[in-house]
Structure 1
Amino acid sequence: MSTSRSALRSTAVTAVLGFTALAGAGSAAAHVSAEPEQAEQGGHAKIAFRVPNERPDAGTVRVHVSLPLEHPLSSVRTKPLPGWTAQVEKVRLERPVEVAGAQVTEAVAGITWTARPGTRIAPDQFEEFEATLGTFPTGTDELLLPTEQTYDSGEVVRWDQPPAPDGSEPEHPAPALALVASEGGGHGHGTSAGGDGEHGGAEHGEPAAGGGDDTARVLGGAGLAVGALGLGLGAGALVLARRGTRGNA
């Protein structure tokens, strides 16, 4: 009897772990992100801001991305998105800043995408807002891009938290872009030929290519594999428990 009880207890624990892994695989990427997550210092790159709708009873109608003025970007070109308008906000810097060997006197402070009437990101959907950004600075290895997501219910969710000191992910992480040393050519990762964000790359409604998307797929696949393994082990333990019970009888 003790062997049967132990097997049944093992079955329950394994099954719970399997279901937990399956649930975690679906929720890991449920926040605003920048795809791809990497670009080259001194270059330009097409970045897609991937915005999932997280509310079951409201739709997203406005997305605002703040760009860092301490590491100014002098060039932003947005890709037209049906049903949405894009506004680029530029400011004049108090003092010129040198970026990749050039003097920058004006920088882009932010980009705002606003839904036209009848358009929104509905529950259980996501949208990608594409823009070509540059020139990326050489004095930092990461840019945080705080983002505000506004729902038609009036709720505003701010994705603006930096990574925790221990490396864990906060509740509302800001989209981040890692900057790596240039490999030559002056174009960032994810940039189409010629560095123009209006040509090539992902089309509307399709995920943008990049390391972040691959990572999400790997994590999702790993979660599913662990969940399936847990369920399989649980089933095996249950079969052994039943055989043990019959043998004791």
Structure 2
Amino acid sequence: MTPTPARSLLRGAGTAGAALLLVVAAAAPASAHVRVTSADASPGGYGVIVFRVPTESDTASTVQLAVTLPADTPFASVAAQPVAGWTVSAPETPLPRPVTAGGFTLTKAVQTVTWKAGTDAGVAPGEFQQFALSVGPFPKGARSIAFPAVQTYSDGTVVHWDQRTTPGAEEPEDPAPVLALLPAATTADDGSTDGTARALAAAGLVVAVLAAGLAGLSLRRRTR
């Protein structure tokens, strides 16, 4: 039987809806731990990485976050986005030996970035804060990068997010934040990928709305 236009739209809407659900599911955190994500980080390129830090304590606020950057493949460029009420420290320290990264020969690099809350600027219980870095280039051939972190609370409690997550195994109690890099072919320095992704998402929503309208019209006709 030849598919009708309505059925074709419904089929397209279902595909677009499924794709959107997959995107949302991939972006959703597995639990309220320190996580790191990026919309443009790919091997060999530059990107913005964002650490999402929730306060899991019921009585104390998060007052400091220290993130360890890769030591074997250091970044040639590290810039921190300011956070209101917080100070950030990202000193360069000498490397054990020179490292070539993205055409640069590095003898020193930023190895730890520390954000510290000022007075009344901590992350209260039940809240979260995001801390962003613009870094690069990411190592070529890498699929993911771990960023061990240390979270300090106002009552002196210190949580070390540094446990390795084994694929297929249950997540450890304090897993290190792991950034999944995008395939190099899916990103572009001119931002065209971001525009394409937005256009596809918008198209999916439009198709879903049209399909819902046609389905409603068909139902009303059958009822009559």
TM-score range, shorter chain: 0.5 to 0.7
The alignment status of 1:69 with 2:71, answered yes or no, reads: yes
The equivalent residue for 1:7 is none
Unaligned runs of 5+ in 2: 1-27, 196-224
Alignment partner, residue 60 of structure 2? 58
Letter of the structure 2 residue corresponding to residue 35 of structure 1: T
In structure 2, distance between residues paired with 1:176 and 1:131: 15
- Tell me what 1:29 maps to: 31
Q: Could you tell me how far apart the structure 2 residues matched to 1:148 and 1:62 are?
A: 8
Distance 1:27-1:180 versus aligned 2 partners, 3 A rule: closer
* Counterpart selection for 1:130 from 122, 129, 132: 132
Shift of 1:63: 0.4
- String of CA shifts for 1:116-170, please: whole Å, max 9, x gaps: 0121100000000111111111143221000100000000001111112534311
Partner of 1:78: 80
C-alpha distance in 2, partners of 1:188/1:164? 36
Using the size of structure 1 for normalisation, the TM-score is 0.60
Partner of 1:88: 90
Going from structure 1 to structure 2, the CA distance change for 1:192 and 1:85 (only over 3 Å counts) comes to: farther
Which amino acid in the other structure matches residue 104 of structure 2? Answer: A
Aligned to 2:11: none
Provide the C-alpha distance between the structure 2 equivalents of 1:28 and 1:87, rounded to a whole number of angstroms. 29
Deviations 1:31-87 (A, max 9, x none): 000122772111111111100000001000000001111111121111111110010
Displacement after TM superposition at 1:171 (Å): 0.9
Residues 79 and 129, structure 1, Cα contact 8 Å, conserved in 2: yes
Amino acid at match of 1:136: F
Q: 1:106 to 1:33 in 2, by over 3 A?
A: same
**Residue 146 of structure 2 is aligned to residue 144 of structure 1:** yes
Question: In the superposition, relative to structure 1, how do residues 84 and 176 fare at CA in structure 2: closer, same or farther (>3 Å)?
Answer: same
Match of residue 112 from structure 2: 110
TM-score, structure 2 normalization: 0.67
Amino acid at match of 2:158: V
Q: 1:134 to 1:50 in 2, by over 3 A?
A: same
Structure 1: unaligned runs, 5 residues or longer: 1-25, 194-249
Deviation at 1:184, TM superposition (A): 7.7
SS at match of 1:39: coil
What is the SS of the residue equivalent to 1:31? Answer: coil
Name the Cα RMSD after superposition. Answer: 2.7
CA deviation vs aligned residue, 1:10-43 (integer Å, no higher than 9, x gap): xxxxxxxxxxxxxxxx993210001227721111
Shift in alpha-carbon separation, 1:44–1:164, aligned structure 2, 3 A? same
